[in-house]
A and B are shown apart, each in its own frame.
Chain A
Amino acid sequence: MATLEIHDLHVTVETGDSATGAREILKGVDLTVKQGETHAIMGPNGSGKSTLAYSLAGHPKYTITGGTVTLDGEDVLEMSVDERARAGLFLAMQYPVEVPGVSVSNFLRTSATAIRGEAPKLRTWVKEVKAAMEQLSMDTSFAERNVNEGFSGGEKKRHEILQLELLKPKIAILDETDSGLDVDALRVVSEGVNRVREGGEVGTLLITHYTRILRYIKPDFVHVFANGRIAESGGAELADQLEAEGYDKYVKGGATA
């Protein structure tokens, strides 16, 4: 059973200001995500939620200054970005990057080949992609466009979830996948995530600012992220409490701590 274990994770980012130097954003994060579980991480802006997502994926902007991250006992922090992906980590990004000159179909196939360790058989692959795209209400012409180039916000998110469905990771981190989506797009994207979850083989880390997406994707655990660490954990009922009360008490608590 796949398990992602984050223990006492500290992360800094260069501010680009020599006087300030590096600023600590994550201040001791502890979290364990097991296959089949869905964890929602909620918190106010600037609390470090996205930093957690990008640090786990290995973005070069962030420096790990303490703690450990393991996937099935393997040291994730020692791995390069692509090694982490091949080990089974997937990050659906809030702002997916445009890659001019690379078609979606070429990108998906190259990626699937890297993740699966061999090129998928062309015939079954074409069917697989087509079916996944249909389920996400994506037009087939999408495959011929360049990766994220000129995509609308909704198209970018669908494209991220398309990859999630095709790459079948052990651990999926969804960074504010709900942001900027209208209700219809949110439903389509959430259904995609749920299809993957129903397989029972993925552990999901759902990072969000709003409770709206949790109406479609039911979490097993909810964590409140504030001031660079998890301030409180609970079940789905914690989301309802946040919906009613907001983040105020955590933000204030962080400020006085």
Chain B
Amino acid sequence: MLQTDSLKFSYPKGQTFGFPNIGCKAEETLLILGNSGTGKTTFLNLIALLLRPSSGELIINNTQTASLSEKQITEFRAQNIGIVFQKPYFVNALNVSENLLLANYLGNNALDKGKAAELANSLGFEHLLSKKVQELSGGEQQRVCIARALMNTPKVILADEPTSALDDENCEKVADLLEKQSKIIGAALIVVTHDHRLKSRFNNQITL
């Protein structure tokens, strides 16, 4: 589903990162490990198409992403990649359910309330759908973020330190949910983390 080949990225200031080649098939999980400063987040941003590599190849869902235009990339990302950020970002003026539907809206898909309810149900926050996002606890917010990443049924799910702010119990839960949900929709799951609690869970690992 996802394959990289000698990706390189240089910051304008001159710092250059080279990244190992990785591949991840549908329904598989890949853990990317590394200490701070090793370019974990840069790597994730490259895969998420938020940054463009200075050289190398990135193939997602059989598409050569280097040849896509800026506009096409935005659409491609909305259709194929679901991102769970380290911090639970939301549009604060909207409630939980509206934040989920926002993914449909921005991805130019029909607003799917049924799907939002279904995801809320399986992630255990169906009672929170009409609440404001600020009223949720950290664990709840993280689960809503996961649901949002799944709203457009992406081919690849990227999670950036999804568990770093959570306690052991919630960490376990979130990891379970990520793995389960990506299996259900047949997506590749890539988790970038330095959380030792996850190391023991997933055996498919790569260290930067």
Does A associate with B in a complex? Answer: no
Which residues of A are at the interface with B, using a C-beta cutoff of 8 A? none
